[in-house]
Amino acid sequence: MDATVRKPWSIAGRLLASAIVCGVLLLLIAGIVLSSLYRRTTEQGFDERLGVYLRAIVADVADPGDDTRTTPGQLGEPQFELTLSGWYWQITRLDTDKPEIKASRSLFAVQLPRLADLGVPAGLGGRRNGYADGPDGRKVRIVEREIDVGDAGVYLVQVAATTEELERQIWQFELALIVSFSVLALALAGATVLQVRYGLRPLRQLGSEVASIRLGVGERITGAYPVEIAPLADELNLMIASNRDILERARTQVGNLAHALKTPLSVITNEARALDGAVLEKIAEQAAIMRDQVTWYLDRARAAARTRVIGASTEIAPAVAGLTGAFRKIYAVRSIEFRSGIAEGPRFRGEKRDLEEMLGNLIDNAGKWATSSVEISALGPFVDSAGRTMIDLLIDDDGSGLPEAQRELALTRGKRLDETKPGSGLGLAIVSDLAALHSGALMLEDSPLGGLRARLRLPSA
């Protein structure tokens, strides 16, 4: 089974495709109908022209004694006198053993086929109209009629003409029809594109508003929307407000829980001081472990709640500037220089307190081990293999570094590799967990300054 999921068509694509398909079908049907009507009308007009000659010949045959009439074939059309010109007439007497045939000079001793023999049915007045192959192989349009003039005999009168003129007129009309309908189709397609773009503009505006909220630029959806979309915008605003209210209540509850647990632990520790040394030491040890555990899980709960905030984003450069200023004072006695090479602009998709907590732990850790300097820089934003926009924050120190075999151990919660340095061993583990909660990561590498580099990969806003 193919695991590839086909991406559904956009609404604009569906509207355009359906409009184009329907428009093309309608224009095609209309073109076929108009072409058929024009062909029929043109054929009828051509038949009427041939019928004029037919009636003239029939009149001559029916009353040959009328001196006011011309003899058959004198129709005033020069084409009937030119050999194989494409215009022919033929009179065939049918009531004799050997049919008598009189024809125009253009036939040149060749006979016209009979439409009755070709299966063409007779119309009103016994007249037949149809197509047949002419004497020179060209298609001709034939109009024929049988007349009975009593003692004078029964005759089949035929008039034929080549269809080249007829087909030329039809082709000219069809060409004009194709050009006109093509221009109309392009105009309709352009009008449909404009209509779809104008009609879907509110949806694009709504998508832009939602994106700005996700990036932390806006706090709620603003602007007026059509009645079809306004309820969706209102529901999204209510959902965003509800999300923030729930997270705020969760933070309050987490803070209350922290206070409720830490106070009894402090009481237990104080009361244990009245006991003997061994018991005091054990209680103090376990109380410290409990306090660290409470701090760990409560901080993790706070961080998990903050990562669910919709639209939170923080500019990185000001946060780094504030932290480096604070740590210069803290490590002034050791003359550690903290330098930041992060320019204005890059943003972290998350809350400021999370960014400051992660960077604060990493910069503090670098300051503890540095000999003289700590550098903070950034790479990106860039798109990772999962298609996410990320940014790497690099914290380098010029200390003694950390062997590769111990780097994974350094990220373990509560693990301190050097007991002579102050701390609880939770700093790097907290940063690693916080980065993971934001779909990022913490990696430890060799620093170009000679010490340790902490690479903090975070989502970019």
Per-residue pLDDT reduced to its tens digit, 376-408: 999 888 888 888 889 999 999 998 888 887 888
Residues 255 and 321 in one domain: no
* 162 assigned to some structural domain: no
Range of the structural domain that residue 351 is part of: 314-459
Query: Is pLDDT of 414 > 90?
Result: no
pLDDT at 1: 43
Residues 437 and 375 in one domain: yes
Residues 348 and 301 in one domain: no
Q: Cα separation of 334 and 370, whole Å?
A: 10
Q: At what angle do helices 352-369 and 316-330 cross, to 10 degrees?
A: 40
* 339 assigned to some structural domain: yes
Residues 361 and 299 in one domain: no
Share of the chain above pLDDT 90, in %: 18
CB proximity list for 200: less than 8 A, separation 6 or greater: 11, 12, 15
* 117 assigned to some structural domain: no
Residues 323 and 421 in one domain: yes
* 50 assigned to some structural domain: no
Per-residue pLDDT reduced to its tens digit, 28-86: 999 999 999 999 999 889 888 888 888 888 888 876 655 444 455 556 678 888 888 88
Q: Cα separation of 212 and 46, whole Å?
A: 71
Are 239 and 213 spatial neighbours (Cβ–Cβ below 8 Å)?
Answer: no
Question: Between these two residues, 103 and 109, which has the higher pLDDT value?
Answer: 103
Per-residue pLDDT reduced to its tens digit, 135-161: 888 899 999 999 888 877 889 999 999
Average of pLDDT values for 404-433? 64
Question: Between these two residues, 183 and 438, which has the higher pLDDT value?
Answer: 183
pLDDT at 424: 42
Question: Of the ranges 89-103, 312-326, 404-418, which one carries the lowest mean pLDDT score?
Answer: 404-418
Average of pLDDT values for 411-433? 59
pLDDT tier for residue 423 given thresholds of 50, 70 and 90: very low
pLDDT at 77: 75
Distances (CA, A) of 205 to 194, 229, 232, 325, 359: 16, 11, 13, 41, 36
pLDDT at 34: 94
| Other beta carbons within 10 Å of 390 | 19
* 282 assigned to some structural domain: yes
Tell me the DSSP string of 344-405: S--EESS-HHHHHHHHHHHHHHHHHH-SSEEEEEEEEEEE-TTS-EEEEEEEEE-S----HH
Q: Which residues pair with 391 in a beta bridge?
A: 458
Per-residue pLDDT reduced to its tens digit, 192-236: 888 888 888 888 888 888 877 766 667 788 878 888 888 888 888
Residue 332 sits in a domain whose CATH number is 3.30.565.10
Residues 455 and 370 in one domain: yes
* 367 assigned to some structural domain: yes
Residues 276 and 365 in one domain: no
Share of the chain above pLDDT 70, in %: 81
- Output the CA torsion sign for 310, 316, 322, 324: positive
Residues 346 and 388 in one domain: yes
Q: Cα separation of 170 and 139, whole Å?
A: 15
Residues 400 and 440 in one domain: yes
| Other beta carbons within 10 Å of 103 | 20
Tokens coding 209: 């508003």
* 279 assigned to some structural domain: yes
Q: Cα separation of 350 and 456, whole Å?
A: 14
- The SS3 of residue 88 is strand
Query: Is pLDDT of 292 > 70?
Result: no
* 64 assigned to some structural domain: no
Last residue of a domain, one of 306, 335, 360: 306
Residues 241 and 334 in one domain: no
How many domains does the structure of the chain reveal?
2
Last residue of a domain, one of 264, 289, 306: 306
pTM summary value: 0.51
Residues 255 and 341 in one domain: no
pLDDT at 338: 92
Q: Cα separation of 142 and 47, whole Å?
A: 8
Ramachandran class of 5: left when φ > 0, alpha when ψ lies in -120 to 50, beta otherwise: beta
Are 30 and 178 spatial neighbours (Cβ–Cβ below 8 Å)?
Answer: no
Q: Which of 49, 68, 69 is nearest to 58 (CA)?
A: 69
Residues 414 and 378 in one domain: yes
Last residue of a domain, one of 253, 280, 306: 306
Could you tell me what percentage of the chain is helix, strand and coil, using 3-state DSSP and rounding each to the nearest 5? Answer: 55, 15, 30
